[in-house]
Every structure is written in C-alpha cells, then in structure tokens.
C-alpha cells in the first residue's frame, strides 16, 4: 500500500472514532479487515505499533509487556498478534493517554483476555463510564491525578498528567532509560492537532503541555506521537511553533473585530497548507483557534 493510502485510511478512521460513527458498523469492520498492525523497534525495550488510530507504545522485557494505548476494538486480535512478535510474555499493564476511542478501543480485550490492568487519569475513567453501553471491563482500574511510575523490565516508566490540553485527562509517558516519549494526542506529527474543546481541552493548555514536554527532553529523545511517524525534538518544536504562530494570527484577527466566519473566509497563510488533513482542515483549525 502506498504511504498516502495508509495515511488517508488512518485519518478517516480517526475522524470516524471521534464522531462516534465507528462503534460497531459493518463499514468500520470492513475497514479494519484491511488494516495491518505492525511493530517497529524504537530503542531498547521500547517498540511502537502502527495500525489505525493512535500509535501504541510498548515496553517489552523479562517482567512482561506494558502498552500505551490500544487503538480500536476491531483491531484487538491484530494488536495481540503484533505484540507476540515482540515477546511471548503477558501484557500486564495498559496506560490510556486519554479517553478517545482510537486510543482505548481494545481496553476490554486486554483486561478480559490478557488479564491486564488498565491505568489512566481519573477523567478518562469518568468520560469512558459516561458513554453509552460501556463495557465495565473497558474502564481503567487504577486512576491517578498527577501521574504514576512503573518499575519493570529494569527500567522506570514515568506517566505525567498534563491538564486541559487535548482533553481534560491527558497523559504522556516517558520511558526513562531508552529515552522514548509517548505523547498521546499532544502531538500530531506535521498535522494540525485535534483539540477537543468539548472535553476539557484548550489551545492555551495544549501549548503549555507541549512546551512542558519539550522542556523535559533533548535532541536524542525519540518521540512516539499520538498520530504520525516517529519523531524527535526538532519535529515537536516545529509543531508547537506552528500552533503558536497560527494562534497568534487568528487571535490578532479576532482582536481587530473579525468574526469567526470572516477569519475562516480569509484563511491562514499559505505556508501552513501542508498541515491540513481530512479531519482537521484549515477551517476546523481556525475555528478551534478562534474559540
Ligand atoms: Zn485523541
């Protein structure tokens, strides 16, 4: 498959999950049938699984597996199969970076079939529990307010909560010794980010969260973004620079008295064109920045 095709499929699946259309439709099942879940080594104990939905981070070693996010329920068997190519050990822990369905869809599979314990920020449990027909097995069992650390495979895995950014329940995960950061949806590499203003997210909070994470890493840190390919600090800096510049641009137009629709009609500077994608095009990004 061409790279562009994979991109457009993963983008449309993300859009589906967020609009809630994917729940159990035959259409979505069909789409998942064509999705491959592939494991890529990142560094040391850490691997990344790419399929559809949020990238999955994996720590694998003698104590077992810890995974960060688990994409869609329809991909659970493929995720398990990809994990088995890395290690035959049990998946003991799942961390949800936030509640969106393209990051938490296989929770029930891992808790029921693999006896894994799910960890997340408190608001992730609250938001998942509020959903229609939520399987109790999909809910995080251990919740935290500020973060938690895992000590396994001879390493330390730090989980940090960042407040009111992509949602009100975001976590980022830093695998200390291999020096790998999983950002959850606090990073869409080279794309305008989705900021879920209806679920406690905010543009200012998102910028603060990204800058906090950037201040914690160095040029050697490998980054697994929520969406997009493996990245580094320079990529992350370029991303936050884009957000700050477009935010300042839209806020300046607003201060001049332009309405939201007027700013949409005027558009952003052409240099940002390549950041637009199916789910967050220029119009949606402007409307997010204006509010
Ligand atoms: Zn998300």
Centre of ligand 1 from the C-alpha of residue 188, in Å: 10
Q: Using 50, 70 and 90 to split pLDDT, how confident is the model at 1?
A: very low
Q: What CA–CA distance (Å, rounded) separates 246 from 160? A: 27
pLDDT in tens, 204-239: 999 999 999 999 999 999 999 999 999 999 999 999
Calculate how far, in angstroms, residue 257's C-alpha sits from the geometric centre of ligand 1: 32
Distance 217 CA to ligand 1 centre (A): 22
Tell me how far the alpha carbon of residue 154 lies from the centroid of ligand 1, in angstroms.
Answer: 30
What CATH number is associated with residue 41? 3.60.15.10
Q: What is the pLDDT of residues 24-57, one digit of tens each?
A: 445 555 778 899 999 999 999 999 999 999 999 9
**In the prediction, which pLDDT does 201 show?**
98
Instruction: Give ∠ CA 34-24-95 in degrees, rounded to 5.
Output: 80
Counting the structural domains of the chain, the total is: 1
pLDDT, one tens digit per residue, over 55-103 is 999 999 999 999 999 999 999 999 999 999 999 999 999 999 999 999 9
Residue 14: its pLDDT value, please? 53
Encoding tokens for residue 126?
A: 């609250």
Measured in angstroms, how far is the CA atom of residue 166 from the centroid of ligand 1?
7
Spatial separation of the C-alpha atoms in residues 50 and 45, rounded to whole Å: 17
For 189, the token pair is: 């590499």
Task: Provide the domain limits for residue 221.
Answer: 3-290
Predicted structure pTM score: 0.89
User: Do residues 121 and 169 touch, judged by C-beta distance below 8 A?
Assistant: yes
Distance from Cα 34 to the centre of ligand 1, integer Å: 22
Tokens 């061409």 appear where?
2
Q: Are 110 and 185 in contact (CB under 8 A)?
A: no
CB count within 10 Å of CB 62 equals 10
């Amino acid at each position: 498959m061409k790279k562009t095709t994979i991109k457009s499929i993963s983008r449309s699946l993300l859009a589906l999950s967020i609009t809630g259309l994917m729940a159990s439709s035959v259409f979505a099942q069909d789409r998942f049938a064509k999705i491959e879940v592939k494991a890529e080594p990142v560094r040391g104990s850490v691997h990344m699984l790419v399929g559809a939905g949020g990238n999955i981070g994996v720590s694998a070693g003698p104590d077992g597996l810890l995974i960060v996010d688990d994409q869609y329920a329809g991909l659970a068997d493929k995720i398990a199969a990809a994990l088995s190519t890395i290690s035959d050990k049990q998946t003991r822990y799942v961390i949800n970076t936030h509640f969106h369905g393209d990051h938490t869809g296989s929770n029930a599979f891992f808790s029921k079939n693999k006896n894994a314990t799910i960890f997340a920020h408190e608001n992730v449990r609250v938001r998942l529990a509020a959903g229609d027909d939520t399987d109790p097995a999909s809910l995080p069992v251990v919740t935290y307010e500020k973060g938690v650390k895992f000590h396994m495979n001879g390493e330390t895995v730090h989980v940090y909560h960042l407040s009111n950014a992509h949602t009100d329940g975001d976590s980022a995960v830093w695998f200390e010794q291999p020096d790998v950061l999983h950002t959850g949806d606090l990073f869409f590499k080279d794309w305008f980010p989705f900021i879920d203003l209806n679920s406690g997210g905010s543009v200012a909070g998102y910028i603060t969260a990204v800058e906090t994470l950037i201040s914690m890493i160095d040029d050697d840190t490998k980054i697994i973004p929520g969406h997009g390919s493996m990245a580094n600090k320079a990529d992350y800096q370029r991303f936050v620079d884009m957000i700050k510049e477009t935010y300042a641009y839209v806020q300046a137009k607003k201060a001049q008295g332009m309405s939201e629709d007027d700013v949409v009609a005027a558009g952003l500077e052409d240099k940002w064109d390549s950041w637009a994608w199916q789910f967050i095009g220029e119009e949606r990004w402007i409307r997010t920045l204006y509010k």
